[in-house]
Structure 1
Amino acid sequence: MMNTVPSKAKISAIGTYVPERRLTNADLEKLVDTSDEWIVQRTGMRERRISGEQEFTSHLCIRAIEDLIQTYGQNVEDVDLIIVATATPDYPFPSVACLIQEHFHIQSTGAFDLNATCAGFAYGLHIANGLITSGMHRKVLVVGGETLSKVTDYTDRTTCILFGDGAGAVLVEADETNPGFLASIQGTDGSGGVHLYRSGLANTMKGLPLQGEGNIVQNGREVYKWAVRTLPAGIETLLEGAGMTTGDIDWFVPHSANLRMIESICDKAGFSLDKTLYSVEYMGNTSAASIPLALGLGVREQKLKYGDTLLLYGFGGGLTHVGMVVKWGVPNL
């Protein structure tokens, strides 16, 4: 589904946080039959951040919001909606969004979590833009946070090398004179859900028994094939609908699933890797947190500037995806 409805919203501030503990490729060599060379060759990953035993998704999200407040002098007291994208909430309920509301004592706000796995943060931006553009909200806090290490099987060499923990938060505010959301596209292929899942209340999918006992199960080959086929086509449609070309995009920011996957998508879509922001090398695949973490790195490394045109693209379990063209509205540091 393509959307080019004129926006009345922009991203105005960002904050990020990752746990202190690093899980290196050398550490993984002690856990499973793998090697630094094998991991780097296939994923581009060198480290991931791992949450503490009593450190959960809400804690990471709160730290990311605190970073946003401190860095940009913002306050969140007048936020009228909190959206948290996560597949690893502290509890099935209450939501992480409600825990954030309580922590910051925001007196009058809506709050909910959404689960679109690795596409979650982009979906959160899409929803925030729609609600503000419609006039229903004025200031929305969109957060992507995960503690994937808590649902990773560290005896499975195919998945344990991939996942890390982290969080990122942005403010999306009303702005009719300088809006930031230019176009978006969404799509879903539920038939591929069997290739990436966590088992839950149901113990079968399409008549097949589910595995994992609550941990992530992934058919990496099938997910890879779907992503490198789906994203270039989605990017082409998105740019055509926006009346733009790849030359109009300052930064491509895909979900940081795997650096080799990103390289393949860039090659097929016509983006150079040096104009791509990613967080995968030293943070791993952080699902809904990966795009804001990549944006945060771009800001700190002084790559990302106010007014830059970005193409964000989230994709993941479902299988589902969402892309958008955004004018960066965050002031330079």
Structure 2
Amino acid sequence: MTTRAVATGIGHYLPERVVENSWFEEFLDTSDEWIRTRSGIERRHFAAEGETTSRMAAHASRAALDSAGITADDIDAVIVATSTPDLTFPSVATMVQNELGMTRGFGFDIQAVCAGFIYALSTANAMIVSGQAQRILVIGAETFSRIMDWEDRSTCVLFGDGAGALVLEARSGSGNASDRGVLATDLNSDGRYREMLYVDGGVSTSGTAGKLRMQGNPLFRQAVAKLAATADAALGKAGLGHDDVDWIVPHQANIRIIQGTAKKLDVPMEKVVVTVQDHGNTSAASIPLALSVAVSEGKIRPGQLLVAEAIGGGLAWGAVVLRW
């Protein structure tokens, strides 16, 4: 028998404030049509004053725990993927532990920007398969609205806030591709591309949080090629092909990137989960948010094969093949 990390619960949280594209017309030279045409985004959610990454992560975690039918006492570890923590330290994960009343186990954060949830999921899978934990809460949570340059129309219209959480649990499998759970992962990074997407501040440089900077067109070209390649690599490791895929759950950055990657993978858009129109780019929260919405809508069902893939600053990118 083989130990598999199986998804047993999913949940998400979005701030109450919904910001339509038209809001940006009040202070930027932009329009709803311009934003929709170039990104596919129609609206996004912004955190309220005092609403932190850890608070949103805790909300999503409670929903995931309820979905799994367990309590925080059943969790061995909390892994949070975020680039927008409440504080420099301690970790958001330990704050979530406290919010949930969890006094056992351990927690830590992972920072791989928009690819963060893929990295966190891969790490959680490795810990479960190696026997270090039985149940792990894997979270992606971001408040990117706090690092926007509101004078840069090419970036500030793209991002939103939110959180998604997934419960992974050790289960026995047969060791083949018919098993439920994580079947394969593929992680990559290349620091040569740092200038394409970064924040111009930090503890050891400016001593400030900084603002997000992005080179849109070069990043687009890198994203489509690298996302398709990592999805192919993960499927190959699992011994599966494109025809086996029921759903692609991509990082929700831009509809053109999503469409370009699907085309490169020869997967019809009918098999791609798309939520970018309602959430914008929520970085590490993007995939668990999309996954949770798709499950709640009845699109994703037990036994179906999913490929989740993402790319973010670093550049860092990767994919996970998971049977739901």
- Band of TM-score, shorter chain: over 0.9
Relative to 1, partners in 2 of residues 1:70 and 1:184: Cα closer, same or farther, differing over 3 Å? Answer: closer
Secondary structure (helix, strand or coil) at the match of 2:72 reads coil
Paired residue type of 2:85: P
CA distance in 1, matches of 2:273, 2:38: 19
Note if 1:271 corresponds to 2:273.
no
What CA deviation, in whole Å up to 9, does each residue of 1:228-265 have, x standing for no partner?
Answer: 12122222232233221111010001111111110111
Relative to 1, partners in 2 of residues 1:7 and 1:69: Cα closer, same or farther, differing over 3 Å? Answer: closer
The equivalent residue for 2:53 is 57
* Equivalent of 2:108 in 112, 119, 125: 112
Moved more, 91-100 or 226-235: 226-235
* Residues 1-333 of structure 1 aligned to structure 2 (within 5 Å): 7-177=3-173, 178-198=179-199, 199-201=201-203, 203=205, 214-328=210-324
CA distance in 2, matches of 1:104, 1:230: 37
CA distance in 2, matches of 1:273, 1:192: 29
Structure 1 vs Structure 2 CA RMSD: 1.5
What CA deviation, in whole Å up to 9, does each residue of 1:279-307 have, x standing for no partner?
Answer: 21110000000001111111121101011
CA distance in 2, matches of 1:95, 1:222: 33
C-alpha contact 2:230 2:309 (8 A) present in aligned 1: no
CA distance in 2, matches of 1:235, 1:105: 37
Secondary structure (helix, strand or coil) at the match of 1:94 reads coil
CA distance in 2, matches of 1:7, 1:310: 19
> By how many angstroms is 1:322 displaced?
1.3
C-alpha contact 1:251 1:309 (8 A) present in aligned 2: yes
CA distance in 2, matches of 1:114, 1:185: 16
C-alpha contact 2:42 2:278 (8 A) present in aligned 1: yes
What CA deviation, in whole Å up to 9, does each residue of 1:197-220 have, x standing for no partner?
Answer: 1122455xxxxxx9x960111111
Unaligned runs of 5+ in 1: 1-5, 204-209, 329-333
CA distance in 2, matches of 1:240, 1:105: 41
C-alpha contact 1:131 1:137 (8 A) present in aligned 2: yes
TM-score of the aligned structures, taking structure 1 as reference length: 0.91
> Percent same amino acid at aligned positions?
41
CA distance in 2, matches of 1:194, 1:270: 30
CA distance in 2, matches of 1:80, 1:69: 13
> By how many angstroms is 1:276 displaced?
0.5
Paired residue type of 2:5: A
What CA deviation, in whole Å up to 9, does each residue of 1:88-118 have, x standing for no partner?
Answer: 0000111111111111221211111110110
CA distance in 2, matches of 1:70, 1:141: 12
C-alpha contact 2:128 2:170 (8 A) present in aligned 1: yes
C-alpha contact 2:65 2:167 (8 A) present in aligned 1: no
TM-score of the aligned structures, taking structure 2 as reference length: 0.94
CA distance in 2, matches of 1:69, 1:108: 16
C-alpha contact 1:129 1:181 (8 A) present in aligned 2: yes
CA distance in 1, matches of 2:34, 2:99: 42
Unaligned runs of 5+ in 2: 174-178
Paired residue type of 1:277: V
- Aligned residues, how many? 316
The equivalent residue for 1:206 is none
C-alpha contact 1:278 1:291 (8 A) present in aligned 2: no
